Structure 1
């Protein structure tokens, strides 16, 4: 999409009406792509809500900040629920200039890990994702010299600055954005990292020279329609790729995400779930002998993770129960089976199952077994505990509390 041409004698920059015109048909366009045979009113409103959330995130990540004055902004979370966000991650992003000199500073916190990836593509453009290929580098805060309070400083630049003997990360050519993932598994107790970024080659006190121009701000505003449609279309296409290549109710390790900016330290397993309300899927897998982190989640057919604040739609290695034989078994279903490892798929006709294993010593292949819902316990170990409705309500209250305690904004 491009900005409309101004009328003769009008301002050279688009008016508010011009900008709104660019956004006018975004929601209905996405509905038509998602449900070409016709959407229900509930589905239409759901897509409008998703488009509005990505529009809001686009202002923060695309319009408010740029590579001259970078700030890490929230990218994917329970409000900006797009791209199959991992509920254990707080994602944030900022644009950067591959020729610039930046300093990242802050405090490490106590969460499981914090990784910052250099991205060689603009996340609003599916074409650029495919053309750019995998991320060029991923950095870990634990590789830095941390102070007694977890404080750190690291310079990110194409070359190590003269005389700098502190921590330094090489900034690779073609990098246009940083993507930060903060992983916490005990949402109620772990403390997320605090991370700031400053540009050092910014001309000193001449701040006016680095302000965003009206032309640049108007252009970025005009790009919001592409931001929304590009992000959502990309993930709908990815889900359909999984359906075509992995089949239905069959889980396999994905190589697709490795080419699209997934963490190089992480293995991804993906499946399409499609079951009736009187059926269930049992996810059954051995676990790596060692790993830094693992989890499983369920998402819809646009790759929006099922509401993890109010539903138990994900489990990580701190939340899940591992059976006495060392295997992880989870039940994916619409109804609560009364077991600890329930993955609530919500009222979805079909969608995605995804597992992540971070820095595993080995990567066992999981499997899915479709069973009648009434026979779930016949396929689980005899000592699988019973979770009562009252116990589930208590679990969900703690989950909701923990999700809100994390700093996603």
Structure 2
């Protein structure tokens, strides 16, 4: 097969894959629902953009930490990325050696991990090794330097697998106080840069990347989209919290997860009660049925342990609803009557299963403790303004 026909064949295979992706999304019953069909359109187009950003575009010869190409919850909402977390990813050759340096910010948790591969590579498993900056002895405000390579080193070593040509170094920062906590500065460069390496990949490599991009999209749509809510509904029905029984390549091993499929009418609320002792961090995120993060900057579609008002009896109570119930701990469904809620706790040690209770909106004040804090419309607007400004500053918008 000549070069032109080989490239044409790869392109045709890619287009066939895109059609399969579209059929996976629009062939699902959710896409027939007038409320959920716009989300299907958004998912179909964003998954293609993310596949380009994370599968086709990266060049391990010239690594950098990408900030905005995936899991930025305002634009790339696929996968239910938490509004509390800023994700940065760099792609490297496991046979290479890299210097990582910067200055730690003030996020409540800063974690770095190495993934031996990436989604869509059709591996039976993806090895993950993770480190907390605290464990590495890097305190907030400290300048730091790490070395990522396959050969063992004594100090601040991130182990790579030299057999993996496309490893991902994943830097997560979890923000509890959106107003005061600041992100870290982090950079990466090869210890032995080779500037003669091509910037654009060959046609043969592009054909491989197109195939991998389709596999990436199929994996995300098949495992981390509408199937998330379907799994919970099959196990427990709606409005009941369950533990995570999935295996997420790339997930933070230090975290524990609870999931809930919500289904509420305009005049209904769901009270979620957490009977937990203090932990370094817990946070919730609301998504639609496609597991796309509900708009989190202009709406309070997430809450964490720093933002939530604890009741006088020591319990946390969150109120999930479409309409504002007035409670400070409101989780805004952003107009969705059905979708998914993810609750992350760090560390993921044993904690009591959260309780849920569906209550009519008109009865919410009698169902909550008298100590519950309520906000006036003016106070709500002020809180949302602070939320918006803190999040946009963190993402450099």
What TM-score comes out, normalization by structure 1 length?
Answer: 0.85
- Is 1:167 the counterpart of 2:167? The answer is no
Q: List per-residue Cα deviations over 1:52-71 (Å, max 9, x = no partner).
A: 22322222222221333322
Give the counterpart of 2:99 among 90, 103, 107. Answer: 103
Q: CA deviation at 1:19?
A: 8.3
What is aligned with 1:325? 313
Give the counterpart of 1:343 among 320, 331, 335. Answer: 331
Deviates more, 1:225-234 or 1:378-387: 225-234
- Is 1:77 the counterpart of 2:65? The answer is no
What is aligned with 1:386? 374
What is aligned with 1:49? 42
What is aligned with 2:136? 144
Deviates more, 1:209-218 or 1:15-24: 15-24
- What residue ranges of structure 2 are gaps of 5+ in the alignment? none
From the superposition, tell whether residues 22 and 402 of structure 1 become closer, same or farther in structure 2 (CA, over 3 Å): farther
Q: CA deviation at 1:209?
A: 6.3
Listed as ranges, the matches of 1:229-244 within 5 Å are 229-235=218-224, 236-244=226-234
From the superposition, tell whether residues 82 and 349 of structure 1 become closer, same or farther in structure 2 (CA, over 3 Å): same
Deviates more, 1:348-357 or 1:226-235: 226-235
Separation in 2, partners of 1:309, 1:345: 13
- Is 1:316 the counterpart of 2:308? The answer is no
Q: CA deviation at 1:269?
A: 0.8
Separation in 2, partners of 1:243, 1:30: 19
What is aligned with 2:58? 65
From the superposition, tell whether residues 23 and 399 of structure 1 become closer, same or farther in structure 2 (CA, over 3 Å): farther
What is aligned with 1:248? 238
Separation in 1, partners of 2:98, 2:389: 35
Listed as ranges, the matches of 1:342-361 within 5 Å are 342-359=330-347
Listed as ranges, the matches of 1:278-317 within 5 Å are 278-288=267-277, 290-317=278-305
Q: In the alignment, is the contact (CA less than 8 A) between 2:136 and 2:156 conserved in 1?
A: yes
Listed as ranges, the matches of 1:106-121 within 5 Å are 106-121=102-117
Q: CA deviation at 1:366?
A: 0.8
Aligned-partner SS, 1:115? strand
- Is 1:195 the counterpart of 2:186? The answer is yes
Q: CA deviation at 1:268?
A: 0.6
Separation in 2, partners of 1:382, 1:118: 48
Q: CA deviation at 1:395?
A: 1.5
From the superposition, tell whether residues 371 and 218 of structure 1 become closer, same or farther in structure 2 (CA, over 3 Å): same
Deviates more, 1:12-21 or 1:62-71: 12-21
Aligned length: 391
Q: In the alignment, is the contact (CA less than 8 A) between 2:104 and 2:184 conserved in 1?
A: yes
Give the counterpart of 2:206 among 197, 213, 217. Answer: 217
Separation in 2, partners of 1:171, 1:10: 37
Q: In the alignment, is the contact (CA less than 8 A) between 1:26 and 1:225 conserved in 2?
A: no
Q: CA deviation at 1:105?
A: 1.3
Separation in 1, partners of 2:78, 2:30: 20
- What residue ranges of structure 1 are gaps of 5+ in the alignment? 1-5
Aligned-partner SS, 1:357? strand
Aligned-partner SS, 1:277? coil
What is aligned with 2:26? 32
Separation in 2, partners of 1:86, 1:339: 22
Q: CA deviation at 1:110?
A: 1.1
Deviates more, 1:262-271 or 1:52-61: 52-61
Separation in 2, partners of 1:402, 1:56: 26
Aligned-partner SS, 1:132? coil
What is aligned with 2:170? 179
From the superposition, tell whether residues 395 and 15 of structure 1 become closer, same or farther in structure 2 (CA, over 3 Å): farther
What is aligned with 1:3? none
Separation in 1, partners of 2:120, 2:86: 19
Q: In the alignment, is the contact (CA less than 8 A) between 1:136 and 1:172 conserved in 2?
A: no
